[in-house]
Structure 1
Amino acid sequence: MKLEQLTVHLRQRTAWEAIELGMALVRRDAGAVFKPWLLITLPILLLLNALGWALDLIGLAGFLMWWLKPVFDRIPLFVISRAVFGATPTVRETLAAQLRWGWRPMLHYLTWRRLSPARSVFLPVDLLEGVDGARLRDRRRVLGGSVYGHAALLTLLCVNFEIALCLGGIFAVMLYFPLELLPDTLRDAWTLLALQSPQWSRVALNLLVWSAVTVIEPFFVGAGFGLYLNRRTELEAWDVELVFRKLRQRLAAGASGVLLVLVGVLGMHSDVARAQDAAPASEESVESPTDDRLEQVFADQFDDDRRFRKAADQAHRDPDLNRTRTQKRWEPKTREEKEQAPREQPTLPWLQALAGTFAFIGEWGLWILLAVLVLALLISAPRWLPWMRGAYAPRVRIDNAITTQPVDLPQTLPADVASAARRLWKSGQRRDALALLYRAGVVALARQLQTTLPPGATEAECLRASRRLPQAEDRQLFAQVVRIWQYAAYAQRDPDEDEFEALLQQLQQRGGWLA
């Protein structure tokens, strides 16, 4: 692993900062992530839905696409794990790698680990480190133990985002329906999706779920990789190791210069020795040129040493490397510490008395309040005690006074509905007359719309159907019939004689309603 090639700034981050780092990696290499994702997942989606259509198991096709998500997660993980070291793979390389890379742990992730809430953190451990057995379990525990809760919460958030995108796609279709038809649209949508869903609607639902997963899943994998990268930085001190590697490179680059200086110094010493043998001189005349030349030769090295000390002092002042911190906490004093503690200075007597009063009220205030309430109840007992008499007496059960009256109507409508309704009205059977008018109106509504209303259709369903009548007068008249019938059937409010006759005349004038 070449840490020098990392394209991110290594430092110890919080878990949420690490999640944001992983998502930023996916955004940076979005093309390299989403292109192979589409080239692999879309054909599998179409193949599974085609088989499901042929076998009438489209729901199973959608379930299999959801269950195979750990297999698809290898795509973004392969890309960002290489791109973080500056080697972003091409689409061809990513597609070729999916044939041989990362299949060994998939048996676990497609069986008992499929519903693991920390899959995003454990997947890089299994696919990138190449360990197994007890060592793999130890690595999973060490790397994922402290961020297990963050990974589980990340999974929950991503699932909620996928559900929100699916619901948003469903309700976005309903935005194109007129507002007055929205109740019927919602009912038809529920029938279409849950009760009597055709195959094309289930295929569309699978496509919608796949689209939501395509948007969210790569970021989910990237966030887990960010947690994994941050945990390795914390445990293995990658940031410190990277600083020392850079320092070693600088020293190695300066080693050749040091060798040249040593060769020059040795040659200089040989020249001085030959000069001394040829012409002896005084001590000052020999050492002064030598010292000046040494100072000139080692001047660069002295400067490097000063720069190194400056860099080391700056590194020690770096808060990322100096992890010391001050933490304060409250601890109870022991008896010896209390005795050794300095005594407080005496205060004024009246202030001490006031403090004692507040302390007594704070300690015994609730008990005093309870005693005052009990005393007040005992004193006022002659007034409120008579009210309590009979409170615990057995209650007398009153039978329900609601009575029902069946409406006896013929199986077929009479030839003259208006005359039959007047006859029932005059004989005192007002509810039967209004029921006959309502039934005749429903039959006429179905005839004018050339449709068949479902058996047991409610008044609200008939009113919604009446909105399709071409004439506004017919819609208003049918709504008036339904309203008068509802008042009589549910509120026991019968119309008067004049209102009933006016309704009959309107129905007769709008030919076809009482035929």
Structure 2
Amino acid sequence: MRIDQLNVNLRARSEWEAMELGTALVRRHARAIWLPLVCVSLPLFVLFNAAAWWADAFGWAWIAMWWIKPLTDRIALYVISRGVFGDEPRPLQTLRAQRSWGWTGFWGYLGWRRFSPFRALLMPVNLLEGSDAQQRGVRRRAVLGGAFGPALLLTTVCMAFELVIVSGCIAAIFLFVPFDLLSDSWRAAWEMVSETMPPWAKLGVNAFFWLAATLIGPFYAGAGFALYLNRRTEMEAWDVEIAFRRLRERLQQAAPLLVLALVLCWPMAAVHATEPGAAPSCSVPQGAFDEDGEAYSDEDEDESEDSPDVPADDPSNTPAVIFGGTAPDTAGFRQAVQRGYEDPLVSSTRQVSRWERTLTDAEKEAEKNERKLDKNGKGRPKGPLLPAQIAEWILWGFVGLLVVLLVATAPRWVRWLRGTGARRRTAVDPVLEEAVELPEVIPPDPAARARDLWQQGRPRQALALLYRASVESMSERAEVVLPPGATEAQCLRASRRMPEEADRTLFAQVVRVWQYAAYAGRLPEPEDFETLATTLQTQFRWRA
């Protein structure tokens, strides 16, 4: 399975979250599921019920429709199993695929496994994995082991939903019956059901069951498929595998940076490779020296004696042991070796001449001391090490910059390491709210009193007084009596009875200003308030 191409987030879910994921997948691919499902189930419904009408056996038609539910479940399973990979099949493609897809492990669900309450969970094992019969049995037991209870509960809940839909459809018929005739209709329906149902009633009940199965079946199959995915995620750690694959993709995208780092670090590796002791020393056995000292110099002889690779007293490093038998003539053997080294076919050499500056005695002594230091591992090789030094300086610069940043930002992150990094919440001034109550007794000069409240810093009380006085004036002019606690909407409907249009418009403006202030907290500007109070005082003839 191409789990890296899944368009759902695979993670460790509970069984209930997994079933919710399955229903969400069904809703996502609703058109691709229900179109082919209706195209398959509707002809079968017509065929079964036509045969039942002819044989007067509608009960057998209901049993046949119930028995072939796995056929519709496999349609939903086919669409969802492709849809989770972003490849939603077309309805016609789904219908064509049913002729050859998944029939090898499906026949059991139309036979002895039809009564299994775990069909939604186990059907993907047979139809999607494609294993043989023996392996399918092992896989079914492994998948069912951790989701036994949720699968059983899923089947029970879906059956309950189907019964509710059928009952609701039957009860909906009586919604069209007048209330006066409802009792008689219930009595007539009960007598019809208890005695002998007519064929059209039996056909209607079968149609309701078909409708319920068509609506709930895809959700049942989708929830079971999501349970199956969740079980495989738990058993095979799909979420961990996907995380590693995504990590690999991110590392592949960061490959140029890794190559750049390798280029910068390569000179450092070269420096370490040229240090003393890094390369193995080459030593020559003691028996290979020429007696006259022409083959090797005294300095080379000292280096070979100091070399720990080939001990001088090693008994296995003798001509007798190397060649076996009687030891050859040492002098002749040495001469043969010397001639072999001088042969240009064996060791081709060429003479190179170059000019060098003549060193003084002090410089020769210093060079000799440096060679001795290098031999003891305390010196450093000479050579063009400028790239390595630049790379080393850059790395040390990065380290220094990092240390400076850490020290500069220490006050921000040190307290988090100590466990006292809780952010201090800024103290918010408490909101002072004043209860606004509409005055029961209106003063004789409401506009002047409202201006005084506004100047005292109580604008909501001022607007409440204007609104209450406007309601009283409106009631007088409209000649209506408002009930206690009348709402703004009731007051607006009552204001339509005022004879003058200007009064109706002004009252609607007062109600709108009051609602903005009381419910939205939007107060008018001082100039707008003064204009409103003056207009109300003039038009409603309030005393100044």
Is residue 60 of structure 1 aligned with residue 158 of structure 2? no
Secondary structure, counterpart of 2:116 in structure 1: coil
Contact kept? 1:121, 1:151, Cα under 8 Å:
yes
Structure 2 distance, partners of 1:279, 1:78, is: 85
Q: TM-score, normalised by structure 1?
A: 0.52
Deviation at 1:289, TM superposition (A): 3.7
Secondary structure, counterpart of 1:175 in structure 2: helix
Structure 1 distance, partners of 2:79, 2:215, is: 16
Structure 2 distance, partners of 1:204, 1:41, is: 16
Change (3 A) 1:85 1:187: same
Structure 1 distance, partners of 2:40, 2:355, is: 86
Secondary structure, counterpart of 2:384 in structure 1: helix
Is residue 19 of structure 1 aligned with residue 47 of structure 2? no
Q: Could you say which residue in structure 2 is the equivalent of 1:93? A: 93
Which string of whole-angstrom CA distances, capped at 9 and with x for unpartnered residues, describes residues 210-251 of structure 1? Answer: 111111111111111111110000010000000111112233
Q: Could you say which residue in structure 1 is the equivalent of 2:209? A: 209
- Aligned letter for 1:60? W
Change (3 A) 1:189 1:107: same
Change (3 A) 1:252 1:114: same
In structure 1, list runs of 5 or more residues that go unmatched.
271-276, 301-515
Contact kept? 1:162, 1:216, Cα under 8 Å:
yes
Q: Could you say which residue in structure 2 is the equivalent of 1:191? A: 191
Contact kept? 2:3, 2:242, Cα under 8 Å:
yes
Deviation at 1:28, TM superposition (A): 1.2
Q: In structure 2, which of residues 360, 385, 390 is the aligned counterpart of residue 292 of structure 1?
A: 390
Deviation at 1:27, TM superposition (A): 1.1
Contact kept? 1:35, 1:91, Cα under 8 Å:
yes
Change (3 A) 1:116 1:268: closer
Q: Could you say which residue in structure 2 is the equivalent of 1:250? A: 250
Q: Could you say which residue in structure 2 is the equivalent of 1:31? A: 31
Secondary structure, counterpart of 1:9 in structure 2: coil
Change (3 A) 1:298 1:183: farther
Deviation at 1:258, TM superposition (A): 4.9
Structure 1 distance, partners of 2:155, 2:221, is: 10
Structure 1 distance, partners of 2:140, 2:25, is: 23
Deviation at 1:255, TM superposition (A): 4.2
Q: Could you say which residue in structure 2 is the equivalent of 1:378? A: none
- Aligned letter for 2:10? L
Contact kept? 2:158, 2:220, Cα under 8 Å:
yes
Alignment of 1:54-453 (within 5 A): 54-255=54-255, 258=258, 286-293=384-391
Q: Could you say which residue in structure 2 is the equivalent of 1:498? A: none
Contact kept? 1:166, 1:212, Cα under 8 Å:
yes
Contact kept? 2:49, 2:58, Cα under 8 Å:
yes
Which string of whole-angstrom CA distances, capped at 9 and with x for unpartnered residues, describes residues 281-329 of structure 1? Answer: x9899334433257779999xxxxxxxxxxxxxxxxxxxxxxxxxxxxx
Structure 2 distance, partners of 1:50, 1:16, is: 41
Structure 2 distance, partners of 1:299, 1:49, is: 86
- Aligned letter for 1:291? Q
Change (3 A) 1:284 1:240: same
- Aligned letter for 2:389? D
Structure 2 distance, partners of 1:278, 1:299, is: 41
Contact kept? 1:19, 1:227, Cα under 8 Å:
yes
Contact kept? 1:193, 1:202, Cα under 8 Å:
no
Alignment RMSD, CA only? 3.4
Contact kept? 2:106, 2:127, Cα under 8 Å:
no
Which string of whole-angstrom CA distances, capped at 9 and with x for unpartnered residues, describes residues 16-49 of structure 1? Answer: 1111111111111111111111111112111222
Change (3 A) 1:260 1:289: closer
Deviation at 1:259, TM superposition (A): 5.6
Structure 1 distance, partners of 2:251, 2:267, is: 24
Structure 2 distance, partners of 1:121, 1:218, is: 13
Change (3 A) 1:192 1:278: farther
Deviation at 1:278, TM superposition (A): 13
Contact kept? 1:36, 1:95, Cα under 8 Å:
yes
Secondary structure, counterpart of 1:40 in structure 2: helix
Contact kept? 2:106, 2:126, Cα under 8 Å:
no
Change (3 A) 1:141 1:269: closer
Structure 2 distance, partners of 1:269, 1:137, is: 58
- Aligned letter for 1:12? A
Highest RCO, 1 vs 2 (Cα 8 Å, sep ≥ 6): 1
Structure 2 distance, partners of 1:299, 1:93, is: 63
- Aligned letter for 2:32? A
